[in-house]
């Protein structure tokens, strides 16, 4: 599971920082999560091919989370895209994007499919044989969702030495990977567990930005491998967090602790602070395994 942070600062673009956008590579899927201004430039900077992205997940309709989307969609047209592009986001996102396309007489020549969200309860919005994606309802100033990405359990791994020992033909390898036992020519049955290894434990990633501190959020991201949680403010500005419906680094760490996640990634920093290291220092007093997102930073989990 590979995460590329294209932007992770709050509110407005600056010469040295970008608003929220990130690319998650999980089990052969490449998804774009939020699309603030500058996303196209950062995708090119990090040599991420536009054509690999087939699903975009927008958390809410504040500009620093989706104002880069119209340009990205238009560029796909100019690049000659012909396969489907799926956009998931709050009700209204289709109207906002298609109005710009209409006024500019620049309709896409590829299928552009919107999946508008309105539910305030968790719902499964995408699933195939490799991953599932569910919403994480958040409490912000407008309708907002986080997203929970989960890998599906993969096929079992062959124990090559054991398979060769029993002289099993390659024609049966796929059956073994699917968990089936093998019957030898002499009629004896070899249990699958003797011929294969368990597949790697599926990984999970929860994206939560923007939201006020919510104790119940921990139940929605229980024991995920990686939790990205906004930390717009430090505890000294907790009053501003409550007023604007954002969270502090310490509050993000409390969610991570209560949810028993493996790793917490902080982001969506207010630019009022001199160093983002302050966010890690504060969060680490509550939860030990804290990483700092930053523009251009990549993580392998």
Q: Is 210 annotated as a binding residue?
A: yes
64 is in an annotated binding site: yes
Q: What is the pLDDT of residue 249?
A: 98
- pLDDT per residue as tens digits for the range 25-56: 999 999 999 999 999 999 999 999 999 999 99
Rg (CA), the chain: 22
pLDDT band at 22 (very low <50, low <70, confident <90, very high): very high
What is the CATH number that goes with domain 2-154+200-300?
Answer: 3.60.15.10
> What pLDDT was estimated at residue 273?
97
Relative to beta strand 298-300, strand 2-7 is antiparallel
Is 65 annotated as contributing to ligand binding? yes
Say if residues 106 and 98 touch (Cβ distance below 8 Å).
no
Model pLDDT, residue 257: 98
Per-residue model confidence as pLDDT tens digits over 164-218: 999 999 999 999 999 999 999 899 999 999 999 999 899 999 999 999 999 999 9
pLDDT score at 27: 96
Q: Please report the pLDDT score of residue 277 as a whole number.
A: 98
Kindly report the pTM of this predicted structure: 0.93
Omega before residue 186 within 30° of 0, cis? no
Per-residue model confidence (pLDDT) at position 243 = 97
* Banded model confidence at residue 130, pLDDT cuts 50, 70, 90: very high
Cα pseudo-dihedral 58, 8, 212, 226, rounded to 10: 80
Average pLDDT, rounded, for the chain: 97
> Is 60 annotated among the ligand-binding residues?
yes
Residues across the chain: 301
Q: What are the residue ranges spanned by the domains of the chain? A: 2-154+200-300, 157-197
* Confidence tier at 260 by pLDDT (50, 70, 90): very high
DSSP one-letter code for 9: B
Query: How far, in Å, CA of 179 to CA of 198, rounded?
Result: 9
Q: Given this model, what pLDDT does residue 276 score?
A: 98
At 50 the pLDDT is 97
Q: Is 268 annotated as a binding residue?
A: yes
* Residue-level pLDDT at 151: 98
Q: Could you read off the pLDDT of 2-15 as tens digits, one per residue? A: 999 999 999 999 99
High-pLDDT (> 90) share of the chain, %: 97
Question: What pLDDT shows up at residue 136?
Answer: 98
Say what the pLDDT of residue 224 is.
98
34 in Cβ contact with 209 (< 8 Å): yes
Burial (Cβ within 10 Å: 0-12, 13-18, ≥19) of residue 50: middle
With cut-offs at 50, 70 and 90, classify the pLDDT of residue 262: very high
Residues whose CB falls within 8 Å of the CB of residue 226, separated by 6 or more in sequence, listed in order: 1, 3, 203, 204, 205, 206, 261, 262, 263, 264, 265, 299, 301
Q: Which residues are catalytic?
A: 64
CA distances from 281 to 27, 228, 238, 242, 257 (A): 32, 17, 16, 21, 15
What confidence score (pLDDT) does residue 254 get? 98
């Amino acid at each position: 599971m590979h995460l590329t942070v294209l932007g992770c600062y709050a509110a407005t673009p600056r010469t040295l920082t970008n608003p929220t956008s990130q690319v998650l590579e999980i089990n052969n899927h490449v998804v774009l999560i939020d699309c603030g201004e500058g996303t196209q430039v950062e995708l090119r900077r990090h040599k991420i091919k536009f054509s690999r992205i087939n699903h975009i997940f927008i958390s809410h309709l504040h500009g620093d989370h989706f104002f880069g989307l119209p340009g990205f969609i238009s560029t796909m047209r100019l690049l000659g895209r012909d396969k489907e592009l799926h956009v998931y986001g709050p009700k209204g996102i289709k109207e906002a994007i298609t109005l710009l396309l209409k006024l500019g007489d620049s309709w896409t020549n590829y299928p552009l499919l919107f999946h508008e969200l309105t539910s305030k309860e968790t719902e499964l919005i995408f699933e195939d044989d490799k991953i599932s994606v569910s919403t994480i309802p958040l409490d912000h100033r407008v309708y907002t969702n986080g997203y929970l990405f989960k890998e599906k359990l993969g096929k079992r791994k062959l124990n090559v030495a054991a398979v060769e020992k029993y002289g099993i033909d390659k024609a049966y390898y796929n059956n073994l990977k699917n968990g089936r036992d093998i019957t030898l020519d002499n009629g004896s049955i070899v249990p699958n567990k003797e011929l294969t290894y368990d597949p790697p434990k599926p990984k999970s990633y929860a994206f939560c930005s923007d939201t006020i501190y919510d104790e119940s959020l921990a139940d929605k991201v229980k024991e995920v491998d990686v939790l990205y949680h906004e930390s717009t403010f430090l505890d000294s500005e907790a009053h501003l967090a409550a007023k604007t419906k954002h969270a502090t680094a310490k509050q993000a760490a409390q969610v991570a602790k209560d949810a028993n996640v493996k790793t917490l990634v902080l982001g969506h920093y207010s630019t009022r602070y001199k160093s983002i290291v302050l966010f890690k220092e504060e969060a680490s007093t509550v939860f030990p395994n804290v990483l700092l997102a930053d523009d251009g930073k990549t993580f392998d989990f």
